[in-house]
Copies of this chain bind each other. A is one copy, B any other.
């Protein structure tokens, strides 16, 4: 089974109503008059990070990517649970974990530490569960984009791609955007009362916009010339790469945007494709961005 098959099968299991049909970045749990947002993301050695990467950066990214899912729901972090596999660089990992928890003013709630077992080729898997408190209800979802809305994105897309290449090739160029991404927590909280739909850009802007359109049952038209990219000479590559953790969201036409962000497209009635890129229909998500095999 590939990722899509597996997730489709998961949707046939007993789901908690807060799972939002497994179509969103995070689960939403109403508890005692409060609304919690909960997410879990894993990173595998050699898949989500380079085997020789600084483990302090890996710890940072593990936390930041989960907090980015909370940010996309307008939630402020309460705490995290770590699923850690012991291995090389654990001291660095702890150092990075300390830095990222301090940076976001959040704390460790618990988790599990396991040995990876004997033998070569054992790839480490690192998991993190993040819990946050929603700042606004209803909690924004991916599925709320309305016809006539404007599509916005924060930050610069493709910066993580350039950072990855610098790290992989040892060029010495800045790789912080890849190694130490920032979760847009403050922006997510500021946006939550205003957006019709919101998600974080984790697998590539075009793929994530495609998913937003699919879930919202609309079409989204993107004008790539307006997209803020890290390298305009490689515009389409930037828009296909993931790992930027910017926020992608829709606002009603004419609404003022409360954070620094750029309009890059519009929401249209559902046409024969969920996504139109510079007027060209994209009918299949294949090849649009990062997907797991």
Asked if A280 is at the interface of the complex by the 8 Å CB criterion, the answer is: no
Contacts of A116 in B (CB 8 A): 44, 47, 123
A60: shortest Cβ distance to chain B, in Å?
13
A37: shortest Cβ distance to chain B, in Å?
10
Asked if A111 is at the interface of the complex by the 8 Å CB criterion, the answer is: yes
**Structural contact, B121 and A1, CB atoms closer than 8 A:** no
Interface residues of A in 1-46 (CB under 8 A from B): 1-3, 6-7, 9-10, 12-19, 22, 24, 26-27, 29, 31-34, 36, 38-44, 46
Asked if A172 is at the interface of the complex by the 8 Å CB criterion, the answer is: no
Given contacts A109-B16, A127-B127, contact A84 B6 (CB under 8 A): yes
A143: shortest Cβ distance to chain B, in Å?
15
Chain A: interface size category: 35 or more
Of the residues B10, B43, B97, contact of A94 by C-beta under 8 Å: B10
**Structural contact, B101 and A38, CB atoms closer than 8 A:** no
For this chain, the copies found in one complex come to: 2
**Structural contact, A106 and B34, CB atoms closer than 8 A:** no
Q: How far is the CA of A117 from the CA of B34 in the complex (A)?
A: 39
**Structural contact, A26 and B110, CB atoms closer than 8 A:** yes
Asked if A174 is at the interface of the complex by the 8 Å CB criterion, the answer is: no
Contacts of A1 in B (CB 8 A): 86, 90-91
Interface residues of A in 45-63 (CB under 8 A from B): 46-48
A145: shortest Cβ distance to chain B, in Å?
21
A89 (CB) vs chain B CBs: closest residue: B1
Of the residues B14, B46, B90, B108, contact of A22 by C-beta under 8 Å: B108
Asked if A199 is at the interface of the complex by the 8 Å CB criterion, the answer is: no
**Structural contact, A111 and B40, CB atoms closer than 8 A:** yes
Q: How far is the CA of A101 from the CA of B14 in the complex (A)?
A: 7
Closest 8 CB pairs of A and B: A121-B121, A32-B34, A125-B125, A32-B32, A16-B107, A16-B79, A115-B292, A27-B109
Q: A40-B112, A42-B83, A47-B114 are in contact. List 6 more A-B contacts (CB 8 A).
A: A14-B106, A18-B109, A19-B108, A46-B119, A117-B123, A120-B121
Q: State the A residues within 8 Å of B (CB).
A: 1-3, 6-7, 9-10, 12-19, 22, 24, 26-27, 29, 31-34, 36, 38-44, 46-48, 78-79, 81-86, 90-91, 94, 97-98, 101-102, 106-117, 119-125, 127, 129, 131, 133, 292-293
30 contacts between A and B (CB under 8 A): A10-B113, A12-B98, A13-B94, A13-B98, A13-B107, A18-B109, A19-B107, A26-B110, A29-B131, A31-B32, A31-B133, A38-B109, A38-B129, A40-B81, A40-B112, A40-B127, A41-B112, A42-B125, A44-B114, A44-B115, A47-B116, A47-B117, A83-B125, A85-B125, A86-B292, A114-B125, A119-B123, A121-B122, A122-B122, A129-B129
